[in-house]
Amino acid sequence: MQRLRPEERREFQRLKLTPTISGTLGAHPVVMLEVGVLGARVQHQEPLDLQHAELHFSFQGSEIRLKCEIVRTSAASAPFPARGFQSGLRFLAVIGDGGDKLRDMLAQLVTRELEVRRTTPSKTEIPKPTVDGDKTVRGSDAKFLCYRFENGQWSRRAVFLPEQPSNGFTVARAPDSDEIQRLCRVFEASDDEGRRLIQLFAELSVSDELEIPPAVQP
C-alpha cells in the first residue's frame, strides 16, 4: 500500500473571488469572498441565526444551489462591502447539477486568473495556452495520479488517496499527455500562489470523481 507523506494535504483549496459574487444564504443577502469545492467564505450585514442554510448564487446565467453548514462567524476585518460579519461555510450537498456547475465555474475562474498572472508584467514567463479546463476537469475511468517536482525532475506515482503534495499536484486521471505536460510547465514557471492555483485546478477532477460535494434532489 502506498504510504502518504506528511506534507500531503486533504483540504481542498479555495479561490479568492475578484470580483466577488452576490447571493443569498437562507434569507440573508451575502457576498462570496472565497469559494472551493468544499466550502466558501461569505460576508453579510447581520449576524446569522441559523446553523444550516441553502446558499444560492448564479454564475454566467447558471443557478447554483448548495446545502451548507455555517462553521464559524466573526466580525468582518475590512469594510467590504460595509461593516458586518464573515462566515465560513462547509458544503454538505449540491442540489441538482450544482456540482458540475460549481466545478465549471471554478475551472473558468482559475483559468482566467492563471492567464492574468501569465500576462502581468514582472511575472515569470508562463507557457501559453496556460491550461484547458475542459480536458483537465472532465473525464471517465479516473485513477489518482500524483505528479511531484523534485530536484528539477518530475515523477509520477499512483496514490490511493488524492492528496495534493506541496511540490506538485494530483489529478483524478491523466486527461491527456499534452495537458499534463502543460500543467507541469506552468507549475515550474509559477510562484507560490500560481502553484496553489494549479493545485486547485487539479482538485476539480478529484472532486468530480469523488462526487464532492454529493448531489441531492430539491
Give the torsion sign (CA, 175, 177, 179, 185): positive
What are the strands of the beta sheet with 145-150, ordered from one edge? 153-158, 145-150, 168-171
Indicate the pTM of the whole model: 0.75
Domains identified in the chain and CATH numbers: 15-94 (2.40.10.220), 101-210 (no CATH)
- The whole-angstrom separation of Cα 146 and Cα 162 is 8
Which pLDDT tens digit goes with each residue over 97-146? 888 899 999 999 998 888 887 776 655 555 555 554 454 544 444 468 88
In this structure, the number of other CB atoms found within 10 A of the CB of residue 139 comes to 17
Rg (CA), the chain: 18
Beta strand residue intervals within the chain, DSSP E: 15-25, 28-35, 39-44, 52-59, 62-75, 85-95, 145-150, 153-158, 168-171, 215-216
Going by their DSSP bridges, the two strands 145-150 and 153-158 should be labelled as antiparallel
Phi and psi, residue 204, nearest 5°: -65, -40
Most confident of 1-10, 17-26, 194-203: 17-26
Q: Are 57 and 25 in contact (CB under 8 A)?
A: no
Which pLDDT tens digit goes with each residue over 67-105? 999 999 888 765 555 568 999 999 999 998 888 899 999
